[in-house]
Amino acid sequence: MSNQDYLDKLRDTIVNQNINGCVEATNEALAAGIGAVEAIENGLSVGMKIVGDKFEAAEIYLPHIMMSAKAMSAAMEILSPLLVGDENAGHGLAITYVQEGDIHDIGHRLVTTMLGANGFEIIDLGVDVPNEKVIEEVIKNKGKKMILVGSALMTTSMLGQKDTVELLKEEGLRDDIKVMFGGAPVSDAWIAEIGADATAENAADASRVALEIMK
Ligand code: HCB
């Protein structure tokens, strides 16, 4: 089997909601020498993108997505420990979270894992996080080199990102922290409109962008 075959198999287990098959395919890919990042970006995530497109086309429904999400999580349990980085690398602290009202955590967890793998110290606030809690955490860590990494998968929850930036300004914290927001609805135009610093397409890109703006 070629590397692409292993990646296609990972993709297909996500699309087919095959949880056990996904675990098996993940172990097979690792045994074949495929790296964890490669497996996530070019196998599993490709599958989730297809699942999203199928959902939008009403070809599948929520229970199917939930099974695909479970398959993805099962694979990530195997892959995440392989992505551990050196948090003393000096890149700084990444405070990661999903905006209030939003429980989509797959992309958030991927981004968080990749930032950790790239040497960021991580505080993961989880999903459905009110802005007040985010600001509290920033205040707690004032003085550190920091980046805020927020995700929003819905157009509704994305609006909360504007309030995050406003609150940072009101509290006099905006200059203390870089702000990167992402998730499917987040665009460059939105980032410019709300005065955040950056966005990124995927988890690998998020690490690259974070390293760049934290220089
Ligand atoms: Co959900 N859902 N969903 N959903 N869901 C979306 C997001 C819709 C777009 C589907 C649609 O209608 N077309 C839609 C939102 C519409 C909108 O607002 N415009 C939607 C809806 C409406 C809902 C519910 C309200 C459905 C309902 O209950 N009626 C409900 C929401 C509940 C809530 O949050 N309060 C819901 C529930 C679910 C689940 C539970 C079934 C499941 C989530 C499981 C989980 O996360 N544990 C789910 C899923 C899986 C999706 C889709 C199909 C895929 C999302 C996903 O995981 N993508 C999604 C369709 C879509 O996005 N096209 C659909 C894969 C990951 C890898 O990509 O974009 O999340 P990602 O993250 C990337 C990227 O954005 C970037 O890097 C990541 C890694 O590569 N990134 C960042 C992410 N965060 C970043 C931060 C940074 O700073 C930088 C980069």
Compute CA distances 165 → 5, 81, 173, 196, whole Å.
44, 32, 9, 7
For position 9, what pLDDT does the model report? Answer: 98
Collapsed DSSP state (helix, strand, coil) of residue 179: strand
Task: Looking at the structure, tell me whether residues 191 and 125 fall in a common domain.
Answer: yes
For position 5, what pLDDT does the model report? Answer: 97
- 105 Cα to the center of ligand 1, angstroms: 8
For position 88, what pLDDT does the model report? Answer: 74
For residue 119, is it within any domain? yes
Task: Looking at the structure, tell me whether residues 148 and 130 fall in a common domain.
Answer: yes
For position 87, what pLDDT does the model report? Answer: 73
Alpha helices in the chain (DSSP H): 3-15, 19-31, 36-39, 45-56, 62-79, 106-117, 131-140, 155-170, 188-194, 203-213
Judge if the beta carbon of residue 121 lies within 6 A of ligand 1: no
Tell me the pLDDT of the chain averaged across its residues.
95
Q: Is the pLDDT of residue 89 over 80?
A: no
Q: Is the pLDDT of residue 19 over 80?
A: yes
The domain boundary residue, chosen from 83, 106, 133: 83
CATH number at residue 48: 1.10.1240.10
For position 117, what pLDDT does the model report? Answer: 87
Task: Looking at the structure, tell me whether residues 118 and 25 fall in a common domain.
Answer: no
For residue 141, is it within any domain? yes
Judge if the beta carbon of residue 108 lies within 6 A of ligand 1: yes
Least trusted range by pLDDT, from 18-27, 42-51, 78-87 = 78-87
pLDDT tens digits, 116-158:
988 999 999 999 999 999 999 999 999 999 999 999 999 999 9
Q: Is the pLDDT of residue 166 over 80?
A: yes
Cross-strand bridge partners of residue 122: 94
CATH number at residue 134: 3.40.50.280
For position 27, what pLDDT does the model report? Answer: 97
Domain extent, residue 51, equals 3-83
Q: Is the pLDDT of residue 33 over 90?
A: yes
Total number of domains in the chain: 2
For position 34, what pLDDT does the model report? Answer: 96
Per-residue pLDDT band at 94 (split at 50, 70, 90): very high
The domain boundary residue, chosen from 27, 49, 83: 83
Q: Is the pTM of this model over 0.75?
A: yes
**Residues of the chain above pLDDT 90, percent:** 87
CA-closest residue to ligand 1 atom 23: 154
Hey, how many other C-beta atoms are within 10 angstroms of the C-beta on 182?
Answer: 26
Judge if the beta carbon of residue 213 lies within 6 A of ligand 1: no
For residue 110, is it within any domain? yes
Which atom of ligand 1 is closest in space to residue 98's alpha carbon? 84
Task: Looking at the structure, tell me whether residues 22 and 115 fall in a common domain.
Answer: no
Judge if the beta carbon of residue 198 lies within 6 A of ligand 1: no
For residue 88, is it within any domain? no
For position 204, what pLDDT does the model report? Answer: 87
The domain boundary residue, chosen from 40, 58, 83: 83
